[in-house]
Structure 1
Amino acid sequence: MPFCCPFAGTPFELLSDNGTRFVGGEWDFCEAFDTMAPQLQEELAKWSISFRFNPPSAPHLGWAWEWEIRSIKTVLQVIHRDKSVPEPVLKTVLIKVESIEC
């Protein structure tokens, strides 16, 4: 789960396993950042969002977020069975759940 910085809802750290798409995504973002106009680079650099990956030989370190994802999927399958949920509805529900304080 990303932690939030002072900018409302903007993560400052993205945690991930070493999946090729995630590692490639970091590379793509860095490459895109290098080609941006200097003013845009300065603005985005203020947010300093970083990627952090599990060590390659330790996939078990991602158990917490894997467990959270599995829990969310299970609840959604029980509630909606075989029905498809439109993306805006799913986003709204997940944002509402995220804002609940324990």
Structure 2
Amino acid sequence: GLYSVNVGGVQFLSQNLFRATVRLAPNVPVGTHKARAFLFKSGLFIKESSAQLEIRKSGFEQSIFRVAHDYSLFYGIFAVSLAMLTGWLGRLVFRKD
């Protein structure tokens, strides 16, 4: 489920420049990947080009990731405290008295 095929999804902006929209699965691993483009003309393979594609976390997800790795003890204490607070509040809200 990491790859998709989009036949005809390439727009040529000039003789040597093209643009393609790539949809990535939400579970693509973070890191550097290799993107490859193949040029076909009249069904015959002409050329292949490749480039590095870096997948990174961003926004709120990146902040949580950074805190969890840089301050793991405090993150663990916070996570356990939040779970306990949520459980206690759930008990209060859904009490059958």
TM-score, normalising length: structure 2: 0.26
Relative contact order, CA 8 A, sep 6+: which one is greater? Answer: 1
Structure with bigger helix share is 1
Structure with bigger strand share is 2
Larger Rg: 2
